[in-house]
């Protein structure tokens, strides 16, 4: 049976089960529930492999430090609880970021960092994802490639850029004489946002220390940033990808090492906008020349 018929069959079984067990009263309601799941990013109704999700075990966001807690509870001279300068949610986010920075400093190898990331529970995306997608490739690569976040295929397989975008990326690299295995490929986020939605600033901020530490541990000569999200995050700017692409911009690591970065279009964008492929090709030729000069 082809993949699409299997998907339709799974959908039909799901709707029948909802009706059979009186979870919904009509076909219309069943369709609404199904659409709601799809909008929430649940693209697989049932997987071929069983897996266990234990939210209770995983959702332990790091406790805010004691001094932050007392600041929240402080009362004024009238005995009224002072309004916190930051909401609890923002404080939790800030505490998770600080926690991530501290953790990452402990990692002396990529394996250490991978283990710390898999244990980290300060980003809620982890709880809706199937895998923590860590970087892949040569740990001493001269070229590091950074995308935005895993998609459905990457989430299933636990490896970055293995879906349609990844296949296009591999072809573009091969055209300038580079094998996927020769580079180190990673993403700003190691967890897939539900339904591939745009990650929030908070999600990016809490994952950024892991990305920065990966860069330090690999120590590439050049970084290729794919798409506006990767470029804006690493270069800490809000310029459009069309104004950034094709230009070398230096990135400075926490320990002062300067690494040139080159921004280009994300392969997912190129799959939708074939007319932009010529510009991406000229970016890749610039990358090839720079790598030859090193
Ligand atoms: N898009 C990305 O940005 N990263 C991946 O790993 C896959 C698709």
Minimum-distance ligand 1 atom for the alpha carbon of 188: 3
Is 73 within the bounds of a domain? no
Residues 12 and 119 in one domain: no
Q: pTM of this prediction?
A: 0.75
What φ, ψ does residue 112 adopt, rounded to 5°? -60, -45
Q: Are residues 47 and 108 in the same domain?
A: no
Residue 32 located in a structural domain: yes
- Asked if residue 30 and residue 149 are part of one domain, the reply reads no
Any domain includes 72: no
Residue 76 falls inside a structural domain: no
**Are 137 and 21 contained in the same domain?**
no
The answer on pLDDT for 59 being more than 60 is no
Once rounded to an integer, what is the mean pLDDT over residues 146-158? Answer: 98
Q: Would 224 be classed as within a structural domain?
A: yes
pLDDT at residue 131 in the model:
98
The answer to whether residue 1 scores a pLDDT higher than 60 is no
Counted domains in the chain: 2
Residue 72: its pLDDT value, please?
A: 47
- Å from CA of 162 to ligand 1 middle: 8
State whether 34 and 180 are in the same domain. no
Q: What is the pLDDT of residue 6?
A: 59
Q: How far apart are CA 33 and CA 28, in angstroms?
A: 9
What pLDDT score does 43 carry? 58
pLDDT value for 76? 73
Can you say whether the dihedral through the CA atoms of 176, 178, 184, 187 is positive or negative?
positive
Tell how far the Cα of 160 is from the centroid of ligand 1, in angstroms.
Answer: 6
pLDDT at 172: 98
- Give dist(CA 37, CA 143) in Å, integer: 39
Of 235, 248, 245, the closest CA to residue 289 belongs to 248
| Local confidence band at 8 (pLDDT 50, 70, 90 cut-offs) | low
In the three-class reduction of DSSP (H, G, I as helix; E, B as strand; rest coil), residue 131 is classed as: coil
Same domain membership, residue 138 and residue 12 = no
What is the reported pLDDT for 57?
A: 43
Res 12: pLDDT: 73
Q: Which of 184, 266, 269, 270 to mutate to test the pocket of ligand 1 (most atoms within 8 A of CB)?
A: 266
pLDDT at position 24:
67
Residue pair 181/142 in contact (Cβ under 8 Å)? The answer is no
pLDDT band at residue 55 under the 50/70/90 scheme: very low
Closest ligand 1 atom to residue 267 Cα is 1
Greater model confidence, 3 or 272: 272
| Least confident stretch, 57-61, 217-221, 258-262, 267-271 | 57-61
Q: Is residue 77 part of a domain?
A: no
Assess whether 31 and 106 both reside in one domain.
no
Same structural domain, 107 and 218: yes
Does residue 78 fall inside a structural domain?
no
What spacing in Å lies between the alpha carbon of 197 and ligand 1's midpoint?
Answer: 12
Residue 37 has pLDDT above 80, yes or no: no
**Residue whose CB lies within 8 A of the most ligand 1 atoms, among 133, 136, 146, 163, for a mutation test:** 163
Q: What is the pLDDT of residue 15?
A: 72
Q: Residue 86 C-alpha to ligand 1 middle, in angstroms?
A: 33
State the average pLDDT over residues 68-84. Answer: 62
As a whole-number percent, the residues of the chain with pLDDT over 90 amount to 67
3-state secondary structure of 290: helix
pLDDT tens digits for 137-151?
999 999 999 999 999
35 in a domain, yes or no? yes
Give me ligand 1 centre to Cα 41, in Å: 16
Q: Are residues 171 and 26 in the same domain?
A: no
pLDDT in tens, 88-133: 778 888 899 989 999 999 999 999 999 999 999 999 999 999 999 9
Question: What are the pocket residues of ligand 1 if the criterion is a CB atom closer than 6 Å to any ligand atom?
Answer: 147-151, 154, 160-161, 163, 165-166, 187, 268
Both 135 and 248 in a single domain? yes
pLDDT of res. 63? 43
Q: How do residues 185-238 score in pLDDT, each as one tens digit?
A: 999 999 999 999 999 999 999 999 999 999 999 999 999 999 999 999 999 999
Interval 37-51 mean pLDDT: 57
Domain, as residue range, for 288:
88-293
Same domain, 123 and 239: yes
- Comparing 72 with 169, the larger pLDDT belongs to 169
Residue of 146, 156, 161 with the most ligand 1 atoms within 8 Å of its CB, for mutation: 161
- Pairing relationship of beta strands 222-226 and 143-147 according to DSSP bridges: parallel
Question: Is 210 in the same domain as 117?
Answer: yes
C-alpha distance across the termini of the chain, in Å: 51
114: domain CATH number is 3.40.470.10
CA distance linking residue 202 with residue 196, whole number of Å: 16
């Amino acid at each position: 049976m082809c993949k699409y018929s299997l998907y339709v069959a799974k959908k039909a079984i799901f709707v029948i089960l909802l009706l059979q067990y009186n979870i919904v009263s009509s076909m219309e309601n069943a369709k609404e529930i199904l659409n709601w799941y799809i909008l929430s990013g649940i693209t697989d109704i049932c997987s071929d492999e069983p897996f266990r999700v234990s939210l209770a075990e995983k959702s332990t966001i790091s406790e805010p430090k004691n001094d932050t807690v007392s600041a929240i509870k402080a009362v004024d001279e009238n005995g009224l609880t002072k309004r916190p300068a930051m909401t609890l949610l923002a404080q939790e986010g800030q505490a998770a970021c600080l926690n991530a920075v501290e953790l990452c400093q402990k990692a002396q190898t990529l394996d250490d960092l991978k283990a710390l990331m898999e244990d980290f529970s300060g980003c809620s995306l982890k709880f809706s994802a199937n895998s923590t997608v860590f970087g892949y490739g040569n740990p001493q690569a001269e070229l590091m490639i950074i995308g935005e976040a895993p998609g459905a295929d990457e989430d299933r397989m636990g490896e970055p850029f293995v879906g349609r975008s990844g296949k296009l990326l591999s072809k573009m690299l091969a055209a300038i004489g580079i094998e996927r295995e020769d580079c180190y490929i990673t993403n700003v986020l190691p967890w897939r946002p539900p339904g591939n939605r745009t990650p929030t600033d908070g999600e990016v901020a809490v994952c950024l220390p892991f990305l920065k530490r990966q860069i330090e541990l690999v120590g590439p000569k050049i970084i290729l940033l794919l798409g506006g999200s990767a470029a804006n995050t690493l270069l800490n700017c809000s310029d459009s990808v069309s104004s950034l692409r094709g230009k070398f911009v230096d990135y400075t690591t926490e320990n002062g090492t300067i690494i040139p970065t080159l921004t280009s279009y994300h392969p997912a964008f190129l799959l939708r906008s074939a007319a932009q492929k010529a510009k991406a090709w000229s970016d890749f030729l610039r990358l090839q020349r720079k790598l030859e000069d090193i």
